[in-house]
Amino acid sequence: MTDTPNYFGPSDAALQAAVDVSRETLGGGSDTPIAQAAAAAVLVASGRVADQLPRPMQTRILTISNQKGGVGKTTTTVNLAAGLAFQGLRVLVIDLDPQGNASTALGMPHHDEVDSIYEVLLEDMPLAQAVQKVEQIPNLYGVPATLDLAGAELELVSLVARENRLKRAIETYLAQSTDRFDFVLIDCPPSLGLLTVNALVAATEVLIPIQCEYYALEGLGQLVRNVEKIQEYLNPNIFISTILLTMYDGRTRLSAQVAQEVRDFFGERVLPTAIPRSVRVSEAPSFQQTVLTYDPGSTGAQSYLQAARELALQA
């Protein structure tokens, strides 16, 4: 049998044996895709997926943004967050989309009575008061969005320093945290309103998920120009650091063409791993889970784990 990667320390002999057994039983004694999936399932179930990723020198704050809907923006946010957390990093997800889909996928309560990002932005509530621990996933925390956020675009207009309210809240929270976060991921609505502007002002990096279809390319130029405007007028530190290809279908020439065009334009900023179309990835939110806890052996889960690793190891 092919040697199993050393995911564990010396005290984890029983867990290492479970991985070996899963590969031997389901993989016929070899490193087949089925065996790899079985091993991944055991690892995720244990809460320890692989060698711990190195912690960044300081907290990386990323806005996951794309003005086009349906490109896998929220799915990318929650699954990358889970992938980073399972690999030893401390992660905070801020749901800035009034639909609250990231809150649902992470299993966070987000009804009217819950302290949420709305109170942080509009009522100056400390961010710490709205942070929730995400069950089932170690090292992962979140700030939910409630339906109240739907009216925030209009309510923010009359406030002083309206573009900087999220930035101030995050900076204050991180400065006061006894155990620092490695990543803060902000899930944005699919529009360039004041909520998205707040996210872009608060972050230092932009991660753009791009669906591997022709229409996904049409709004890409405008998104890049919008980021450049934010950089010029509101946040000189913001830049597009990462591109993630989503909904990739290796059976079609179109997916390959779109992927190549994106790689030609953005170069090394495109993560090597593309996220395939996956029923499991789509199903997971209906069970209030990420795909990594819903079906850790699936191709979607393994792809997001690898993409999270690539994100963390970016130069």
pLDDT of residue 45: 53
Range of the domain at 42: 10-46
Comparing 99 with 217, the larger pLDDT belongs to: 99
Q: List, in order, residues 6 or more apart from 79 with CB less than 8 Å away.
A: 281, 290, 291, 292, 300, 301, 304, 308
262 and 200 share a domain? Answer: yes
Q: At what angle do helices 73-86 and 299-312 cross, to 10 degrees?
A: 70
How confident is the prediction for the chain on average, in pLDDT? Answer: 85
> Per the domain annotation, does 2 fall within a domain?
no
pLDDT of residue 130: 97
32 and 170 share a domain? Answer: no
Rounded mean pLDDT, 229-236:
95
| Tally of structural domains, the chain | 2
Residue whose tokens read 């309103």: 193
Percent of the chain predicted with pLDDT > 70? 83
Dihedrals phi, psi of 306, to nearest 5 degrees = -70, -40
167 and 19 share a domain? Answer: no
208 and 236 share a domain? Answer: yes
User: Which amino acid, residue 219?
Assistant: G
* pLDDT over 90 (residue 241): yes
pLDDT of residue 230: 95
> Per the domain annotation, does 36 fall within a domain?
yes
**Alpha-carbon dihedral of residues 279, 282, 286, 287, nearest 10 degrees?**
60
Supply the pTM of this predicted model: 0.86
DSSP state, 276?
Answer: B
Q: For the segment 262-288, what is each residue's pLDDT rounded down to a tens digit?
A: 999 899 999 999 999 889 999 999 999
Where residue 25 falls among pLDDT bands split at 50, 70, 90? very low
Among 65-79, 82-96, 184-198, 275-289, the range scoring the smallest mean pLDDT is: 65-79
> Per the domain annotation, does 181 fall within a domain?
yes
* pLDDT over 60 (residue 23): no
> Per the domain annotation, does 174 fall within a domain?
yes
Where residue 140 falls among pLDDT bands split at 50, 70, 90? very high
CATH number for the domain harbouring residue 275: 3.40.50.300
> Per the domain annotation, does 193 fall within a domain?
yes
Sheet holding 132-133, edge to edge: 132-133, 140-143, 91-95, 183-187, 60-64, 205-211, 239-246
For residues 207 and 76, the answer to whether their CB atoms sit within 8 Å is: yes
Where residue 40 falls among pLDDT bands split at 50, 70, 90? low
Measured CA to CA, the distance from residue 294 to residue 131 in angstroms comes to 23
Rg of the Cα atoms in the chain: 20
DSSP string, 152-210: HHHHHTTSTTGGGHHHHHHHHHHHH-SS--SEEEEEPPSS-SHHHHHHHHH-SEEEEEE
248 and 300 share a domain? Answer: yes
Percent of the chain predicted with pLDDT > 90? 59
- Residue 12: Cβ within 10 Å count: 15
Identify the burial level of 250 via C-beta atoms within 10 angstroms of its C-beta, where 0-12 means exposed, 13-18 middle and 19 or more buried: exposed
SS3 132: strand
130 and 37 share a domain? Answer: no
Rounded mean pLDDT, 8-14:
43
> Per the domain annotation, does 54 fall within a domain?
no
**Alpha-carbon dihedral of residues 107, 303, 221, 197, nearest 10 degrees?**
30
39 and 132 share a domain? Answer: no
> Per the domain annotation, does 53 fall within a domain?
no
Comparing 170 with 68, the larger pLDDT belongs to: 170
37 and 136 share a domain? Answer: no
140 and 274 share a domain? Answer: yes
SS3 274: coil
37 and 98 share a domain? Answer: no
Comparing 47 with 208, the larger pLDDT belongs to: 208
Q: List, in order, residues 6 or more apart from 203 with CB less than 8 Å away.
A: 61, 62, 63, 184, 186, 235, 238
Tell which residue, 93, 106, 39, has the closest CA to residue 290. 106
Measured CA to CA, the distance from residue 18 to residue 9 in angstroms comes to 14
Among 47-56, 89-98, 103-112, the range scoring the smallest mean pLDDT is: 47-56
70 and 193 share a domain? Answer: yes
Comparing 190 with 42, the larger pLDDT belongs to: 190
> Per the domain annotation, does 3 fall within a domain?
no
241 and 294 share a domain? Answer: yes
* pLDDT over 80 (residue 14): no
Measured CA to CA, the distance from residue 170 to residue 234 in angstroms comes to 16
Where residue 66 falls among pLDDT bands split at 50, 70, 90? confident
* pLDDT over 80 (residue 121): yes
Identify the burial level of 68 via C-beta atoms within 10 angstroms of its C-beta, where 0-12 means exposed, 13-18 middle and 19 or more buried: buried
DSSP string, 68-116: SSSSSHHHHHHHHHHHHHHTT--EEEEE--TT-HHHHHTT---STTS--
pLDDT of residue 251: 85
